[in-house]
Amino acid sequence: MTSPILSIENLTIGLPAGGDRANAVEDVSLAVRPGEILCVVGESGSGKSMTASAVMGLLPKGLPVRSGRIMFEGNDLLTLPAETFRALRGARLGMVFQEPMTALNPLMRVGDQIGEAFRVHGEKGDIRSKVLALLEDVRLPDPPSIIGAYPFRLSGGQRQRVMIAMALALGPSVLIADEPTTALDVTTQMQILRLIRGLQERRGTGVLFITHDFGVVAEIADQVAVMQHGRVVEHGEAAQVLNAPQHPYTRALTAAVPHGRARPAETHAPEPVLALSGVEKSFRRGGGLFRRGSPVQAVADASFTLVKGETLGLVGESGSGKSTLARCVVRLAQPEKGEILFHGTDLLPLGRAAMQPYRARIQMVFQDPYASLNPRRRVGDIIAEGPVTHGVPRDKALARALELLALVQLDAGAMERFPHEFSGGQRQRIGIARAIALEPELLIADEPVSALDVSVQAQILDLLDGIRKRLGLTMLFITHDLRVAAQVCDRIAVMQRGRIVEIGPTAKVFGAPEHPYTRELLDAIPGKAWTPPLEAA
Amino acid sequence: MSFWRRFARNLGAMVGLAILALVALMAVLAPVLFPFSPWEMRGIPFMPPGEAGFLLGSDSLGRDVAAGIAHGALVSFLVGGVSTVAALLLGVTLGALAGYAGGWVDDAIMRFTEFFQTIPSFVLAVVLVAIFTPSIASIVVSIAIVSWPPVTRVVRAEFLSLRSREFVQAAEVLGRGRIAIMVTEILPNALSPIIVLASLMVATAILLESSLSFLGLGDPNLMSWGFMIGSGRSVIRIAWWMSVFPGIAIFLTVLALNLVGEGLNDALNPRLARRRGIVVT
CATH number at residue B215: 1.10.3720.10
Contacts of A355 in chain B (CB under 8 A): 175
Among chain B residues, the shortest Cα distance to A98 is held by: B281
Is the pLDDT at A282 greater than 60? The verdict is yes
Of B167, B174, B278, the CB nearest to A371: B167
Lowest-confidence pick of A152-156, A365-369, B196-200: A152-156
**Cα of B163 to nearest chain A Cα, Å:** 11
Does B176 contact A at CB distance below 8 Å? yes
Give the 3-state secondary structure of A362-379: EEEECCCCCCCCCCCCCH
Contacts of B175 in chain A (CB under 8 A): 355-356, 359-360, 386, 389-390
User: B165: number of CA atoms within 13 Å, CB side?
Assistant: 24
Is the pLDDT at A454 greater than 70? The verdict is yes
Is the pLDDT at A319 greater than 80? The verdict is no
Strand pairing class (A223-228; A37-41) = parallel
Question: Residue A266's pLDDT band (boundaries 50, 70, 90)?
Answer: confident
- For residue A434, count CB atoms less than 10 angstroms from its CB and return exposed for 0-12, middle for 13-18, buried for 19 or more: buried
Residue A394 neighbours by CB distance under 10 Å:
11
Measured in residues, chain B has a length of: 281
Q: Has this prediction a pTM greater than 0.90? A: no
CA distance B131 to B125: 10
Inspect the interface and report whether the beta carbons of B167 and A386 lie closer than 8 Å. Answer: no
What distance separates the 2 farthest-apart alpha carbons in chain B? Answer: 75
Question: Residue A288's pLDDT band (boundaries 50, 70, 90)?
Answer: low
In a domain, B37, yes or no: no
Of A60, A61, A375, the CB nearest to B189: A375
| Per-residue pLDDT, A379 | 92
**Cα of A523 to nearest chain B Cα, Å:** 30
Residue environment code for A71-109, b if the CB has 16+ CB neighbours within 10 A, otherwise e: bbeeeebbebeeeebeebbbbbbbbbbbebeebbeeeee
3-state secondary structure of B175: coil
What stretches of A390-453 show up as alpha helix (H) in DSSP? 394-407, 424-436
Task: List, for residues B84-121, the tens digit of each pLDDT value.
Answer: 999 999 999 999 999 999 889 999 999 999 999 999 98
Question: CA dihedral in degrees (B141, B143, B147, B151; nearest 10)?
Answer: -50
**Cα of A147 to nearest chain B Cα, Å:** 34
CA distance A391 to A118: 68
Among chain A residues, the shortest Cα distance to B275 is held by: A61
CA distance A402 to B90: 40
Does B188 contact A at CB distance below 8 Å? yes
Inspect the interface and report whether the beta carbons of A377 and B188 lie closer than 8 Å. Answer: yes
Residue environment code for A256-281, b if the CB has 16+ CB neighbours within 10 A, otherwise e: bbbbbebeeeeebeeebbbbbeebbb
In a domain, B132, yes or no: yes
In a domain, B53, yes or no: no
Question: Residue B276's pLDDT band (boundaries 50, 70, 90)?
Answer: very low
Q: Once rounded to an integer, what is the mean pLDDT over residues A147-154?
A: 86
In a domain, B54, yes or no: no
| Per-residue pLDDT, A4 | 85
Enclosing domain of residue B190: 3-31+59-275
| Per-residue pLDDT, A89 | 84
Inspect the interface and report whether the beta carbons of A60 and B175 lie closer than 8 Å. Answer: no
**Cα of A188 to nearest chain B Cα, Å:** 24
Question: CA dihedral in degrees (A443, A449, A455, A460; nearest 10)?
Answer: -10
Does B51 contact A at CB distance below 8 Å? no
Contacts of A390 in chain B (CB under 8 A): 175
In a domain, B119, yes or no: yes
Inspect the interface and report whether the beta carbons of B278 and A60 lie closer than 8 Å. Answer: yes
Is the pLDDT at A522 greater than 90? The verdict is no
Is the pLDDT at B159 greater than 80? The verdict is yes
Strand pairing class (A206-211; A65-72) = unpaired
| Per-residue pLDDT, A474 | 92
| Per-residue pLDDT, B61 | 85
**At residue A196, what is the residue type?**
I
Inspect the interface and report whether the beta carbons of A386 and B279 lie closer than 8 Å. Answer: no
Inspect the interface and report whether the beta carbons of A60 and B176 lie closer than 8 Å. Answer: no
> Strand order of the sheet with strand A294-307?
A294-307, A272-285, A337-342, A345-346
In a domain, B146, yes or no: yes
Lowest-confidence pick of A13-17, A89-93, A492-496, B128-132: A13-17
CA distance A188 to A184: 6
CA distance A112 to A255: 46
Question: Residue B275's pLDDT band (boundaries 50, 70, 90)?
Answer: very low
CA distance A32 to A208: 7
Domain count of the fold of chain B: 1
Q: Once rounded to an integer, what is the mean pLDDT over residues B267-280?
A: 52
Contacts of A392 in chain B (CB under 8 A): none
Inspect the interface and report whether the beta carbons of A364 and B173 lie closer than 8 Å. Answer: yes
Residue environment code for A437-465, b if the CB has 16+ CB neighbours within 10 A, otherwise e: bbebbbbbbbbbbebbbbebbbbbbebbe
Average pLDDT, chain B: 88
Nearest to A495 by CA among A275, A342, A249, A316: A316
Asked if A13 and B275 touch (Cβ cutoff 8 Å), the reply is: no
Give the 3-state secondary structure of B103-138: HHHHHHHHHHHHHHHHCCHHHHHHHHHHHCCCCHHH
**Cα of B67 to nearest chain A Cα, Å:** 46
CA distance A357 to A342: 12
Give whichever of A258-262, A527-531, A533-537 has the largest mean pLDDT: A527-531
For residue A513, what are the CA distances in angstroms to A299, A503, A525? 22, 10, 14
Residues of A at the B interface (Cβ-Cβ below 8 Å)? 15-16, 19, 24, 44-45, 48-50, 60-63, 330, 332, 352, 355-356, 359-360, 362-364, 366-368, 371-377, 385-386, 389-390, 431, 434, 438
Question: Residue A102's pLDDT band (boundaries 50, 70, 90)?
Answer: confident
| Per-residue pLDDT, B25 | 93
Lowest-confidence pick of A132-146, A383-397, B258-272: B258-272
| Per-residue pLDDT, A293 | 64
- For residue A69, count CB atoms less than 10 angstroms from its CB and return exposed for 0-12, middle for 13-18, buried for 19 or more: middle
Task: List, for residues A326-335, the tens digit of each pLDDT value.
Answer: 889 988 888 8
Is the pLDDT at B278 greater than 50? The verdict is no
Asked if B53 and B43 touch (Cβ cutoff 8 Å), the reply is: yes
Average pLDDT, chain A: 86
Of A44, A330, A367, the CB nearest to B173: A330
At residue A9, φ and ψ (nearest 5 deg) are -120, 120
Q: Which of A23, A50, A385, A420 to mutate to test the interface with B (most CBs of B within 10 A)?
A: A385
Q: Which of B106, B164, B173, B268 to mutate to test the interface with A (most CBs of A within 10 A)?
A: B173
Inspect the interface and report whether the beta carbons of A438 and B174 lie closer than 8 Å. Answer: yes
Asked if A38 and A227 touch (Cβ cutoff 8 Å), the reply is: no
Is the pLDDT at A138 greater than 50? The verdict is yes
For residue A353, what are the CA distances in angstroms to A275, A326, A441, B219? 22, 21, 20, 51
Question: Residue A516's pLDDT band (boundaries 50, 70, 90)?
Answer: very high
What is the torsional sign of CA A238, A240, A243, A246? negative
Asked if A526 and A219 touch (Cβ cutoff 8 Å), the reply is: yes
Is the pLDDT at B185 greater than 50? The verdict is yes
Strand pairing class (A362-365; A272-285) = unpaired
CA distance A244 to A238: 10
Is the pLDDT at A537 greater than 50? The verdict is no
CA distance A488 to A509: 14
Task: List, for residues B34-72, the tens digit of each pLDDT value.
Answer: 888 888 888 888 888 888 778 888 888 888 889 999 999
Task: List, for residues A31-63, the tens digit of each pLDDT value.
Answer: 898 888 999 998 887 888 888 888 888 887 778
The one-character DSSP state at A354 is H
A-B CB pairs within 8 A amount to 80
Q: At how many degrees (to 10) do helices A516-523 and A186-203 cross?
A: 50
Inspect the interface and report whether the beta carbons of B170 and A63 lie closer than 8 Å. Answer: no
Percent of chain A with pLDDT strictly greater than 70:
96
| Per-residue pLDDT, B156 | 95
Task: List, for residues A123-135, the tens digit of each pLDDT value.
Answer: 777 888 889 988 8
Asked if B175 and B165 touch (Cβ cutoff 8 Å), the reply is: no
User: A434: number of CA atoms within 13 Å, CB side?
Assistant: 34
In a domain, B52, yes or no: no
| Per-residue pLDDT, A137 | 82
What is the torsional sign of CA A440, A446, A447, A453? negative
Among chain B residues, the shortest Cα distance to A331 is held by: B173
At residue A69, φ and ψ (nearest 5 deg) are -135, 155
Does B184 contact A at CB distance below 8 Å? yes
What is the torsional sign of CA B212, B214, B219, B220? negative
Find the distance separating the first CA and the last CA of chain B, reported in whole Å: 27
**At residue A286, what is the residue type?**
G
In a domain, B167, yes or no: yes
Question: Residue A402's pLDDT band (boundaries 50, 70, 90)?
Answer: very high
Nearest to B15 by CA among B278, B274, B258, B277: B258
Asked if B69 and B241 touch (Cβ cutoff 8 Å), the reply is: no
Asked if A251 and A535 touch (Cβ cutoff 8 Å), the reply is: yes
Q: Once rounded to an integer, what is the mean pLDDT over residues A305-328?
A: 88
Inspect the interface and report whether the beta carbons of A332 and B189 lie closer than 8 Å. Answer: no
Nearest to A390 by CA among B175, B182, B170, B183: B175
Nearest to B68 by CA among B41, B88, B89, B92: B41
Of B170, B178, B180, the CB nearest to A372: B170
Lowest-confidence pick of A110-119, A265-274, A306-315: A265-274
Inspect the interface and report whether the beta carbons of A389 and B174 lie closer than 8 Å. Answer: yes
